[in-house]
Structure formats: C-alpha cells, structure tokens
Amino acid sequence: MARQQERARRTRAAIIRSAAVEFGKSGYAAASLNRILEGSRATKGAMYFHFDSKEDLARAVLDAAVERYRTSIERWLGRTDLGPLDILRGMLDEVALRLDNDIIIQAEFRLIIEPEFHRDVQAGGGRILGRAIRMLAVRAIDQKQLRPDADPDKFARTLTAALAGQRYVTDMVGGPVDMRMRFTEALEIIVEAMGTAEWFEEFRVVGWRASARPDDLNVGSASP
C-alpha cells in the first residue's frame, strides 16, 4: 500500500510539473493536455484519476506555487540573525531566482494574468509576498532602519508594484535580464526614500548581508 501511494504521489507530481512547463510556455487557453501527458509520461487514465479537468490541473499548479511562496517566505521571516531590511532583500532575491529558474513559479505568473484566473491573484503568491513585505517594513520602523514616519502600507504597495512591473517589462522586452539585480534596484530606490541615516551609514560599509542560493530552490526536485 505504501509503495502504491508513493507511486501515485510521484505520478501526480510529474503531471503538475509537466503542466507547469506547458502553462508557462503556452498559457492556459493554448495549453495542450496531450503535451502535458507526453512530458509527464503518465497515462490519460492516471491524469484523470488525479485531476478532473485542465482547469483543475491549472489550479493544482497555482496551489503548488502558493506553497512554495509560503515555505520560502516563512523561512526568511524566521531568521533571527539579520535585520528586517536584509531579510527583505534575501527574500526578494529568492523570489527573483525562482522567477528565473522555478517552473512552478513561472507558470503561476503566466496563469494569473489570464482572464480565467484573475480572481486567484487575491490568494496567490503575490498576496503572500505583499503581506510579508508589510510585516518587514513594520519591523524596520521599530528597529530604526526605516524612518518613524514611513508608512508600511505605502512601502508594501509601492515595492510589490515595482517588482511586478519589472517582471512584466522583462517579458515584454525579451532577452536576458538579471531579475535579481532588477529586484534589488527596486528595493534600494524605495528604501532610499524611507531609510534612516543610521541604516544608510552602516549599509555603505557592509552592503546587503543576505542573498538567496540556488540550492534553496530545490530546482531539480521531482516534487512540484
């Protein structure tokens, strides 16, 4: 029984992964279930055992992306060895790295801009990220990294919009773009408007203390 359950789990994960590749490449409407099956090496019966429809499969990809956002962000928020702004930089660096390398996150970004999934934006990875950014802004004010008059809601809204804009512009322009550098630039510009003199004095000496590592992404994992 345990062996069968593990086989079923691996089959489901392979289908989700293949679907993420297809949705990320073709979008939802043009995605082909046959190409998803070919990529997963699963049978049609296995796919319909796990998923009722293409929409059900797309929502499984969205759920997998949300879980990755949640796991990543919780790990960064739990760091006690870094200040709030360094935690924020490390967290955004990992998001940028995932957008470049993680097919699940790439597929979520493609799906939520399609009409069928507009409502999923409110519960997606971007919403989780926005809440975490606000939380870290509040911490940064408390720890005198951001000015006392800084507005954490404005900070979070402006930064999340800047990050999304960088990603959209990258897709429109095409070609190689260093998304990690773009995300760091967006953060630095906004912090420059709200940071304290004390924080800047230290930052000029040591720079950012946190960044993401490719090993954190588990890019080669068989699980979705």
In the predicted structure, residue 220 carries a pLDDT above the cut 60: no
In the predicted structure, residue 55 carries a pLDDT above the cut 70: yes
Rounded CA separation 216/73 (Å):
12
Under 8 Å between Cβ of 90 and 187: no
- Give the dihedral of Cα atoms 142, 68, 124, 107; nearest 10 deg: 140
Burial of 164 (0-12, 13-18, 19+ CB in 10 A): middle
Under 8 Å between Cβ of 208 and 184: yes
Residues whose CB is less than 8 angstroms from the CB of residue 223 and which lie 6 or more positions away in sequence, other chains included: 13
Residues whose CB is less than 8 angstroms from the CB of residue 101 and which lie 6 or more positions away in sequence, other chains included: 214, 217, 219
Q: What is the tens place of the pLDDT at every residue in 28-40?
A: 999 999 999 999 9
Under 8 Å between Cβ of 22 and 35: yes
Q: State mean pLDDT over 77-104.
A: 96
Q: For 174-196, where are the alpha helices, taking DSSP H only?
A: 179-194
Q: What is the tens place of the pLDDT at every residue in 105-144?
A: 999 989 988 888 877 777 788 899 999 999 999 999 999 9
